[in-house]
Structure 1
């Protein structure tokens, strides 16, 4: 792919399929990871749900007693999430994030995996900047080793474990970097191997 910050076809898919996507639900086996992630946060922490989709995870974060800011690049999905949450959802691409030390944690489930490889280090650097010192990041990626598209024509960066670790290292000063692997599936219903990343922004 040529160097660019986002994939227009992927964004268009989520706008066109927003209602169907929301109705299909999450098949990535991430619910346990969300609970474990939240258990590591201080009470009342401010969490950015980056790529919030239909808002189901943002709702769970709110119900657990945390402050949440939801953001998605798809206006269609953001509208659904806003109805679910009863509050506005920011509509912005990841390359438009300019927040500085604003969040205690960032939850980025199945969202950064759509960032073109040419731009992923820059986007992770923006996430690093948006976190407060000591802030925690969770991000999940479909694993692979080479970028590509699925049968729905959505772009994926498909990193290997080593590639993901290298992207993180190049994007800023992080500590306690953990990369786990698990099976699951996605919206297309096909079996998928997932990489789950957690890291702390250095003080």
Structure 2
């Protein structure tokens, strides 16, 4: 994780949690791909809005965020444990039916990204489903708040996913959002399923 980006979220946890948008409309589609009561890992849960929906729907949720301050806010809001965990600390093996990573892996430095995807692949059960979203671009950089983004292209993501493990692509679509810094961003949303190599 980029240290400057992590410190931004640690220092601005409350204001970011207060800003956090409603849960993604794509969450219901993701959950529909999972068995009832499935085990789901959420990475970068932020204020906990997505975990709240999953818990209410009866899923077994492990909510995590890289910022201890954000994790504490989310835990209070959810009435459910939220772990402070950085992506590279994920060491589970074939544990989860699903991994939900909304607008968080976009902060992973490019040279670390394949390794993080490998950890996610390993943490999923066979046929487990993985959702992630990214700000589309052609090279990494920082926004006007100093946060690092990997700004991937579709081709770069496809190659990096393939290097991390065997996946079956399920859905891919785009949207335009307004970021925390009030600037528009083109988002790419990917859902893939872990398959046997």
* TM-score bracket relative to the smaller structure: over 0.9
Which segment is superposed worse, 39-48 or 176-185? 176-185
Q: Which runs of 5+ in 2 are unaligned?
A: none
Q: Which runs of 5+ in 1 are unaligned?
A: 1-5
The CA distance in 2 between the partners of 1:143 and 1:176, in whole Å, is 18
- Of the three residues 74, 93, 107, the one matched with 1:81 is 74
- Of the three residues 6, 11, 23, the one matched with 1:16 is 11
What is the aligned partner in structure 2 of residue 142 from structure 1? 135
How much does 1:36 deviate?
1.1
CA contact (8 A) 1:178 1:199 kept: yes
Of structures 1 and 2, the one with the larger relative CO (CA 8 A, separation 6+) is 1
Please give the root-mean-square deviation of Cα atoms over the aligned residues, in Å.
Answer: 1.2
The CA distance in 1 between the partners of 2:162 and 2:66, in whole Å, is 25
Runs of 4+ in 1 over 4 A off after TM superposition: none
What is the aligned partner in structure 2 of residue 167 from structure 1? 160
Rate the CA distance shift 1:178–1:168 in 2: closer, same or farther, 3 A: farther
Using the size of structure 1 for normalisation, the TM-score is 0.93
Deviations 1:9-33 (A, max 9, x none): 1010001000000111227xx6211
The CA distance in 1 between the partners of 2:21 and 2:107, in whole Å, is 16
Using the size of structure 2 for normalisation, the TM-score is 0.96
- The answer to whether structure 1 residue 50 and structure 2 residue 43 are counterparts is yes
- Of the three residues 113, 131, 136, the one matched with 2:124 is 131
Aligned residues: 196
